[in-house]
Amino acid sequence: MKKTALNEVHRKQGGKMVDFGGWDMPVQYPAGTIAEHLAVRTAVGMFDVSHMGEIEIKGPQALALVQHLTSNDASKLADNQIQYTGLMTPNGCFVDDILVHRFGPDHYFLCVNASNSDKDFDWIQSHAAGFDAEVTNLSANYSQLAIQGPRALEVMQPLTDVDLSAITYYWFTTGHVDGVPAIIARTGYTGEDGIEIYFDPSESERMWNKIIEAGQPHGLIACGLAARNTLRLEAKMALYGHEIDDTTTAFEADLAWICKLGKGKFLGCDRLVEQKEQGLTRKLIGFEVTDKGIARDGYPAFIGDREVGRVTSGSPAPFLKKNIGLAYLPIEHTAIGTKFEIDVRGRRLAAEVVPTPFYKRSRQ
């Protein structure tokens, strides 16, 4: 199994380790998932996300290649700006969902999902022929930590030489964290304010311990993958392999905002244009279980006796104290307030389509 540079640290600190897509990662720490989730909502938490992949695209036609491969419009990015986008298949579905960081007009840095990192690199390389651009897999060169929550900047500001408050949401800068050169981005996957830092893996243990120490007075605790999942679900952020994959289009996944059909040709755009004209037959919705019980990933959804869809992610929402989830339903059953049922291991539980995101932080 693959390990991040922090594997031993997680074990020493009581992390419960699991196989996560071939990576040996902490699913939770001794505080437990609910405490970790609430720490991120009300104070601050830290995640080791070094398993995520990093791919660099450089060269005179770097932008043209990014534009060809992704659905959002990367030409709108300024230097040091970040964009959430889809790495698309020719049928308008997802190879992956990724973050594109623009260092300059000929230099882009992609952050991709851990389990897709090799696949994404091969995909990008295989489509790079004809573009004057060099594609490099830098995944082994970076550790990544996510410090998330309303007090994240307070914790991190004394450790860095850059003014964190000057980096706005979905922008980044380069500087030092605890003296170590780092990419510092105002991004995350929790629905909270926070930053993500990328740096040399050899500094991982020292960096981790330093941030834990600096964060303790602010309530910072180490968080595992289970809390990362409940946090991103409350914020209705898609997870590859659940809400999105190579069979779901961006429109179906309620991600029309990352499909810029007017930007010019890109992989999958013809299919997306066609789907927009024809209309959707199904769409991702958010639901709340109104009976007592939890609808989990993969459980079938019913209207009457007819199986109409499946839950893509389902879980208790620790901050909202509800049982929520996301599911694909036929388009005619996607209106807010639509009632349906979910088969929970032989018991039918009542559920209702509700507005999303389930949780939205108040912005200052």
Partner 1 sequence: MASYPDNLHYTKDHEWIRVEGDTGTIGITDFAQEQLGDVVHVQLPRTGEKFEAHVTFGEIESVKTFSELFTPASGEVVEINEALGDTPELVNSDPYGGGWMVKLKLSDTGEIDSLLNASEYEDFVESQKED
Which positions lie near partner 1, rule CB under 8 A?
A: 16, 27-28, 32-34, 226, 230, 292-294, 296, 315-316, 318, 345
Residue corresponding to tokens 């910072």: 220
For the record, the structure tokens of 186 come out as 């105002």
> To the nearest whole angstrom, how small is the minimum distance from the Cβ of residue 291 to partner 1?
11
Q: Which is nearer to partner 1, 175 or 316 (CB)?
A: 316
Q: Which is nearer to partner 1, 173 or 290 (CB)?
A: 290
- Cα 297 to its chain centre, rounded Å, is 17
Q: Which is nearer to partner 1, 280 or 294 (CB)?
A: 294
> To the nearest whole angstrom, how small is the minimum distance from the Cβ of residue 35 to partner 1?
8
| Cis previous bond, 316, omega within 30 | no
Q: Which is nearer to partner 1, 226 or 311 (CB)?
A: 226
> To the nearest whole angstrom, how small is the minimum distance from the Cβ of residue 33 to partner 1?
5
Q: Which is nearer to partner 1, 45 or 92 (CB)?
A: 45
Q: Which is nearer to partner 1, 50 or 315 (CB)?
A: 315
Q: Which is nearer to partner 1, 219 or 316 (CB)?
A: 316
> To the nearest whole angstrom, how small is the minimum distance from the Cβ of residue 299 to partner 1?
11
Q: Which is nearer to partner 1, 38 or 64 (CB)?
A: 38
> To the nearest whole angstrom, how small is the minimum distance from the Cβ of residue 29 to partner 1?
11
Q: Which is nearer to partner 1, 138 or 350 (CB)?
A: 350
- CA 107, 109, 110 angle in degrees (round to 5)? 140
> To the nearest whole angstrom, how small is the minimum distance from the Cβ of residue 156 to partner 1?
27
User: If residue 152 lies in a helix (H) or strand (E), which one and from where to where?
Assistant: helix 152-156
> To the nearest whole angstrom, how small is the minimum distance from the Cβ of residue 294 to partner 1?
5
Burial per residue of 341-350, b for 16 or more beta-carbon CB atoms within 10 angstroms, e otherwise: bbebeeeebe
> To the nearest whole angstrom, how small is the minimum distance from the Cβ of residue 15 to partner 1?
12
Q: Is 51 helix (H, G, I), strand (E, B) or coil?
A: coil
> To the nearest whole angstrom, how small is the minimum distance from the Cβ of residue 221 to partner 1?
14
